[in-house]
Chains A and B, each alone.
Chain A
Amino acid sequence: MLEIKQKARELLESGKAQVVIGYGKGPNNTTRAIFVRKPEDADKLVLDDTCVQNLALYIYKHEVRHFGKEAVVATLPVLRSLLQLASENQVKDNEIIAIAITPDNKVVELDSFAAIEEHVRLFNTGLTEDEKDLLKKINAMGLEERWAFWNKEFSKCIKCYACRQSCPMCYCPRCAAEVNQPQWIPVAAHQHGNIEWHIMRAMHLAGRCINCGDCARACPVDIPLNLLTYNLIEELNNEFKYTAGLSASQTYVLSTWKLEDKETFIR
């Protein structure tokens, strides 16, 4: 943790970065995102098991970007988000400095996508056994049972959009849910509106979700939204050998066509 503070201080003192996005503590010993702009405030940074929020969404927040060059304390989901955002042309190479931790607990400064890609390869990026078990459980349900399960979960939704707002991949300035000519998705938090919203969001994340789990953590009514994305991650892995957020230059799997694709309809 000391090294993180030192690195942040160094970056701010040298002027290499004007803001370090990292984790700090709130008054009830909670962990929260903090935005360090002065070298002397680098001491407020912490890094422990409670630092789970995906900070990547702050890099394009207007007020944060306004401070100047950004550095971010980057856990694996943050790094993968950066690569995914890069592949979607949302962030440029050398634009962000990632302060990352190697598997043997050393602090490293990654300032290019190539460096981030190399670093990410050191980690397991598949679903964990626990995640796979959850997925197995839900997929073991029959069609009707599963439909009933999701209907019950979605009925709790209050359309606060915390799932969307917490997601680094949901960066559209105007979400499909907010387009009203035509109105794609009913605004009201009734069953129809809720189901369409969550299914639409999941489909928009197919092949893009890097599995940080923030949508489910953010949900104030505990809808297990990450179960939807686990399934998408597994499907894409099984069908296309594709994992999101591993490379800044990978093309989007669901909009690329290859001669050797097994489907024949396009030939």
Chain B
Amino acid sequence: MTDMDVGASTSAGTREAASAHAEAIVRLRVIDERLAALGDAGTIGFLPRATGREAALVGVIAALSPTDWVFPGASDWPVAALRGMRLDTFVHRVFADANDPLRGREAPAGVSARALRIASSSAPAATHLPHAVGVAWAARTRGEELACVALLDAPEVDAADFHTALNFAGVMKAPVVFACRVRAGQAGAAEHAIAYGLFEARCDGSDADAVEAALREALERALRGEGATVLDLELGADDEAHARAVAALGAERAASLGARFENELASALAAADRAGRPDLSTLFEDVYGELPEHLRAQLAEARG
């Protein structure tokens, strides 16, 4: 089965990197449209569209080293596929079926992959941001060279945990970058950095190369111990990133890639169709490390 690695081994700013980014964006659009159709048909649950955020996501993931952690926001389901989750596993996740690594517990947009250093996403606004500070701080005090990137969207700037996370990042000098997708007309996150003693930065969020470069700069600064950065990824129109990717690849190559990827996706979707539902026991397991007596009894009651 095909991996969806965006090409982290390519050097940033090279023609190869730009091409890999463009391919990743085209592939992501194929997934997004196919899954959106399944969502509309009721085959899977609600999945927010990635439209307009493709380049930002591709650029962010490309900038990370394998040891870095990423903290996805509530709509950042593509990060699993972009960071190297197998396509069939990714599709099982979205289908929340018997082969879902999250055991069918999360809605399609939920994402978590410890092996890929992807934190577990949740729906409440900005609650994941202090977690990124905690991991970054812990790693720094243990002498491990890694940084954390927390993704958010502009409306989350209003949430208390956004400000709390920035405050703690400043006080703890945690190697973390808050990368905020900002659409036209929205107030960004970066302007708040100064209040907490953090760096602020902005880049074209519809340009994966620009995102990768801006994030690499912020990550390097964080790892030098200079502090955290709040980075606004300023998104253009919904189709801008995809249109740029198609232009970079050429329409013919983009269409050919899209068709090839449709085929790969089709077999993963077929496997998910056959997978069935998670066992009833998965409802009760993992609430605690060990199944306590009251849940053992409730599982027996649920089985009837």
Do A and B pair up? The answer is no
Q: Which residues of B contact A (CB under 8 A)?
A: none
Q: Which residues of A contact B (CB under 8 A)?
A: none
